[in-house]
């Protein structure tokens, strides 16, 4: 399969619809939906759409550069592929496919603790720059051993997820019968029969090659099939993770350390005081806390408080290159992409994920051309803290991201 096979996929929503047709309903909803009433997903979209970027005209944009520096590396795009659990169920060896797409685009891929494929294979078969995402287990010594394993495999950056202290409330998983551990049911069987391509190319292929998939980063003696409960409470996600754990990780991990899921200025400042290299301003794509603010609401205040003392990344809700431009304009130095590339890998492995990255690259380049922005740094000039009247005024309680008074009136864009 080549990227030319995806000529009908013109944007991320096209990829999403194609993924919905190919994947079993339960699995698709697991990667696509949110928590509780799912208001946060819709709010992320509304908040991004509310941000208007005002163009500077008569600027030479014949040579636009999308090059960015993220965590000390120059790369051709201001992106990284975010950690997403069970990508190996979306496509056979899905984590390797995502990593290959990242490598082809010149951006890092973040391996999840709950990956179906071990980081050693991902490193050996993808050639990608790897980050490693960490969930802290109750047994801290086993957690530290996992860090050593990730470092030995070549991971250069550790990403600690800090916004999942307890299991989120996702009621649709109970209704559609999908969850981890996987459970056999009549509903699940019908779902598999209705999606024969996925059943044959992913599930049956995995069963023939290595049996029922497992979480590849769990210690061998505790590793179980996804159809069974864990053998030990040692590997349950810890609910007592504190800044003491961050201090321990900073002492143990010799590479870059990132905290993912920060939404408060005080937490960002505390991260800075603990020697953290970067934070990801994120509400987990609306998958965890349904009443959480969106990253666009809090990002400007965090950027102002941190200034240039710590790198700030962002994610949640990106569907267009213009969304990437919006996050960068608000002060992020880079953006993580999660669901978008999962949709791509679901429909075509590395080529499908590569198609999505190509689309986002093209859209960002067009957006920059329209804005009169030859480089990414120029995007920030289209946002201003000076209040401006008119229909672009955000709703009460949101962070001010109105149009700069010296760029354009609301009626001109």
Q: Residues with catalytic annotation?
A: 284
- Structural contact between residues 323 and 48, judged by C-beta atoms closer than 8 angstroms: yes
- Structural contact between residues 295 and 282, judged by C-beta atoms closer than 8 angstroms: yes
| Distance of alpha carbon 355 from alpha carbon 344, whole angstroms | 7
3-state secondary structure of 386: coil
| Distance of alpha carbon 147 from alpha carbon 7, whole angstroms | 41
Long-range contacts of 396-402 (CB under 8 A, 24+ apart): 398/47, 398/50, 398/297, 399/296, 399/297, 399/298, 399/299, 399/300, 399/301, 400/300, 401/50, 401/51, 401/296, 401/300, 401/330
Preceding omega of 181 cis (within 30 degrees of 0): yes
- Structural contact between residues 281 and 326, judged by C-beta atoms closer than 8 angstroms: no
Q: Considering only CA atoms, which of 322, 328, 321, 297 is closest in space to residue 398?
A: 297
């Amino acid at each position: 399969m080549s990227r030319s096979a995806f000529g009908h996929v013109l944007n991320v929503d096209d990829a999403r619809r194609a993924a919905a047709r190919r994947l079993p309903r339960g699995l698709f909803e697991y990667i696509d939906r949110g928590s509780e009433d799912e208001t946060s997903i819709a709010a992320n979209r509304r908040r991004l759409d509310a941000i208007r970027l005002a163009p500077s005209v008569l600027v030479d944009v014949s040579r636009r550069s999308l090059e960015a520096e993220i965590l000390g590396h120059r790369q051709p795009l201001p992106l990284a592929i975010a950690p997403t659990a069970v990508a190996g169920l979306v496509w056979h060896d899905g984590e390797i496919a995502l990593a290959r797409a990242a490598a082809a685009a010149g951006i890092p891929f973040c391996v999840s603790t709950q990956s179906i494929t071990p980081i050693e294979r991902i490193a050996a078969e993808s050639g990608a720059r790897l980050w490693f995402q960490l969930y802290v287990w109750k047994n801290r010594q086993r957690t530290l051993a996992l860090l050593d394993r990730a470092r030995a495999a070549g991971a250069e950056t550790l990403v600690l997820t800090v916004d999942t202290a307890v299991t989120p409330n996702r009621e649709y998983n109970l209704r559609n019968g999908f969850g981890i551990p996987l459970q056999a049911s009549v509903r699940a069987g019908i779902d598999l029969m209705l999606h024969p391509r996925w059943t044959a190319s992913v599930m049956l292929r995995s069963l023939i090659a290595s049996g029922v998939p497992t979480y590849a980063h769990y210690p061998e003696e505790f590793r179980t099939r996804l159809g069974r409960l864990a053998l030990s409470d040692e590997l349950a996600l810890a609910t007592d993770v504190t800044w003491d754990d961050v201090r321990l990780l900073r002492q143990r991990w010799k590479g870059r350390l990132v905290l993912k899921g920060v939404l408060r200025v005080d937490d960002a400042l505390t991260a800075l005081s603990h020697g953290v290299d970067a934070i990801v301003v994120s509400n987990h794509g609306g998958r965890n806390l349904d009443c959480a603010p969106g990253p666009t609401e809090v990002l400007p205040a965090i950027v102002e408080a941190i200034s240039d003392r710590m790198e700030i990344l962002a994610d949640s809700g990106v569907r267009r290159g213009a969304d990437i431009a919006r996050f960068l304009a608000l002060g992020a130095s880079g953006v993580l992409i999660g669901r978008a590339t999962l949709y791509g890998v679901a429909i075509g492995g590395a080529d499908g994920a590569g198609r999505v990255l190509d689309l986002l690259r093209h859209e960002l380049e067009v957006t920059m051309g329209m804005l009169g922005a030859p480089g990414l740094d120029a995007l920030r000039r289209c946002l201003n803290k000076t209040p401006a009247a008119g229909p672009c005024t955000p709703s009460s309680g949101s962070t001010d991201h109105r149009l700069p008074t010296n760029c354009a009136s609301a009626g001109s864009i």
